[in-house]
Amino acid sequence: EAGVAQSPRYKIIEKRQSVAFWCNPISGHATLYWYQQILGQGPKLLIQFQNNGVVDDSQLPKDRFSAERLKGVDSTLKIQPAKLEDSAVYLCASSLGQGVIEQFFGPGTRLTVL
Amino acid sequence: DAKTTQPTSMDCAEGRAANLPCNHSTISGNEYVYWYRQIHSQGPQYIIHGLKNNETNEMASLIITEDRKSSTLILPHATLRDTAVYYCIVRVASFNKFYFGSGTKLNVKP
């Protein structure tokens, strides 16, 4: 079974530039999550989708971050404009449903903002 | 946001049992204890979860105290590949939001 795919794996940009990350969850998984993991910390949930609807985006900095999951499968996370403090690993995860125990994580995208 | 307390790091000799403690003194009756681990440069991986009974699977055992205020994850025979950050998380079963703390960095040494 294929796992959660993410691209790119690494991205370096300058502050005030824009960047987008892509995630393809495990086939059949209705719930998709985006996490931000700053170096030395645990992952922090940014946004959770159930199919193509947003369940929780309370920790998403909406002035610069946006995310979509238009057809209930793939998802993109965008930052516009980026700040130095956005340097982190962005992890995508998926699960069969909201009440399901196990989340499956992708390898992450490491973003460096200069 | 995290409601758990874990040691920052621990060492374990290869082949010995690794016992990772977690304190969750404010846990509610409907909150489960979950353990995930994150190997360097990878996403977190589910290990085990429990409510109040001890649990065991092919990866680990979870021991939860009777008052549920603390738990211990046991890796019975640690290998070098078990070197990772281990996260203890409490979560209401029907609410899928995870709060990851900083976890415990387990160093398995030959």
Task: Tell whether the model's pLDDT for residue A45 goes beyond 60.
Answer: yes
CB B20 within 8 Å of CB B48: no
In this complex, which of B43, B94, B102 lies closest to A91 when CB atoms are compared? B43
Q: Give the mean pLDDT of A22-42.
A: 94
Task: Tell whether the model's pLDDT for residue B67 goes beyond 70.
Answer: yes
| Model pLDDT, residue B102 | 87
DSSP characters for A51-91?
TTEEEE-TTS-TTTEEEE-TTSS-EEEEESS--GGG-EEEE
Q: Give the mean pLDDT of B6-13.
A: 96
B12-54 per-position pLDDT tens digit: 999 999 999 999 998 888 888 999 999 998 999 999 999 998 9
**Whose CA is closest to A89, among B87, B43, B105, B47?**
B43
Shortest Cα distance, chain B CAs vs residue A109, angstroms = 10
Is the Cβ pair B45, A98 closer than 8 Å?
A: no
Is the Cβ pair B98, A103 closer than 8 Å?
A: yes
In this complex, which of B46, B97, B101 lies closest to A56 when CB atoms are compared? B97
Task: Tell whether the model's pLDDT for residue B2 goes beyond 60.
Answer: no
Is the Cβ pair A42, B41 closer than 8 Å?
A: no
Task: Tell whether the model's pLDDT for residue A113 goes beyond 80.
Answer: yes
| Model pLDDT, residue B69 | 93
Tokens of A33: 């999550």
Task: Tell whether the model's pLDDT for residue A99 goes beyond 70.
Answer: no
Residue with tokens 């973003």: A111
In three-state secondary structure terms, A41 is coil
| Model pLDDT, residue A100 | 66
Choose the mutation target among A23, A45, A57, A90 for the interface with B, i.e. most B CBs under 10 Å.
A45
Task: Tell whether the model's pLDDT for residue B83 goes beyond 70.
Answer: yes
Task: Tell whether the model's pLDDT for residue B96 goes beyond 80.
Answer: no
Query: Which chain A residues are closer than 8 Å to B46 by Cβ?
Result: 101-104
| Model pLDDT, residue A109 | 97
Where is pLDDT greater, at B28 or B56?
B56
Task: Tell whether the model's pLDDT for residue B56 goes beyond 50.
Answer: yes
Alpha-carbon span B96 to B65, nearest angstrom: 24
Residue B49: partners with Cβ closer than 8 Å, 6 or more residues away:
A101, B32, B33, B34, B35, B55, B62
| Model pLDDT, residue B1 | 44
**A19 confidence band (pLDDT: 50, 70, 90):** very high
